[in-house]
Amino acid sequence: MKTLAALKHKNFIDVDGGYGFDQSLLREKSTYAADRACGIAALANLIAYTEGKRRIDRGEALKLMGEILRFAPPRPWGIAAGGILLRAMGPMGRKYKAEFLKPHATDEEIKAFLLRALNGDRPVALLNTNHPHKAFRYHWVTITEVVEEEGEVYVRFSSWGRRYKMRFEELFVRGMMYRRMFFIK
């Protein structure tokens, strides 16, 4: 295995033993919101990592996601635009800037964007819409690493507080109707 790009902190963010924020924690506040809060969890991952928080307990996680939820409540389809998440940071007192991947980027442009962000120690939020794998359809994830194994490129990411690994071509399926990817700095 060869690491092409990765966050400096391999364990990412330990949220009560998980790998990043788990949107299901929001069930304590609202089942409706929890089922549509993948963007909120992804933004919480970006904020916490950028602020150097490597271990967070359940209460801190709920507080941060609840704050984001207050300023970026999901619609029935969730949060379909990175700009909605970014606008929520202003009222929260977080003045980060974001860099977005251009629309309709090629595979090479996607890889270059990921490598630049991760080598700069910035996790990347990704939304795929019509993904063929149901678990990742209309779902935000947080990318933390890109590796090469036996000639294949794989992407590691956080979703539902767990760590996943998927082939690049499988995660970045061609023909997405809509894809959004960004990191904050």
| Topology (CATH level 3) of domain 2-184 | Cathepsin B; Chain A (3.90.70)
Which residue, 44, 73, 47, is CA-closest to 61? 44
What pLDDT is attached to residue 103? 86
- Helix (H) / strand (E) element for 26: namely none
Strand 55-56 to strand 14-15: parallel, antiparallel, or no bridges (unpaired)? Answer: parallel
183's CB contacts (< 8 A; 6+ apart) are 46, 98, 99, 117, 120, 122, 123, 124, 125
| Whole-angstrom distance, CA of residue 75 vs CA of residue 61 | 21
For residue 176, what pLDDT is reported? Answer: 65
pLDDT for 101 equals: 95
For residue 163, the cross-strand partners are 158
The pTM of this model reads 0.94
C-alpha to C-alpha distances, 109 to 100, 104, 157, nearest whole angstrom = 12, 9, 19
Question: Tens digits of per-residue pLDDT, 15-54?
Answer: 999 999 999 999 988 888 889 999 999 999 999 999 999 9
Predicted confidence at residue 178, as pLDDT, reads 67
Q: Where are the domains of the chain?
A: 2-184
pLDDT tens digit sequence for 78-114? 887 888 898 999 999 999 999 999 988 899 999 999 9
CA distance linking residue 142 with residue 125, whole number of Å: 5
58-71 and 82-89 are packed helices; what angle lies between their axes, rounded to 10 degrees? 110
Cβ proximity of 180 and 81 under 8 Å: yes
| Residue 13 pLDDT | 97
CA-CA distance, 71 to 37, in Å (whole number)? Answer: 12
- Using 50, 70 and 90 to split pLDDT, how confident is the model at 175? low
Residue 177 has pLDDT above 70, yes or no: no
Distances, alpha carbon 107 to alpha carbons 50, 59, 113, 165, in Å: 26, 39, 10, 18
Task: Indicate the average pLDDT of the chain.
Answer: 92
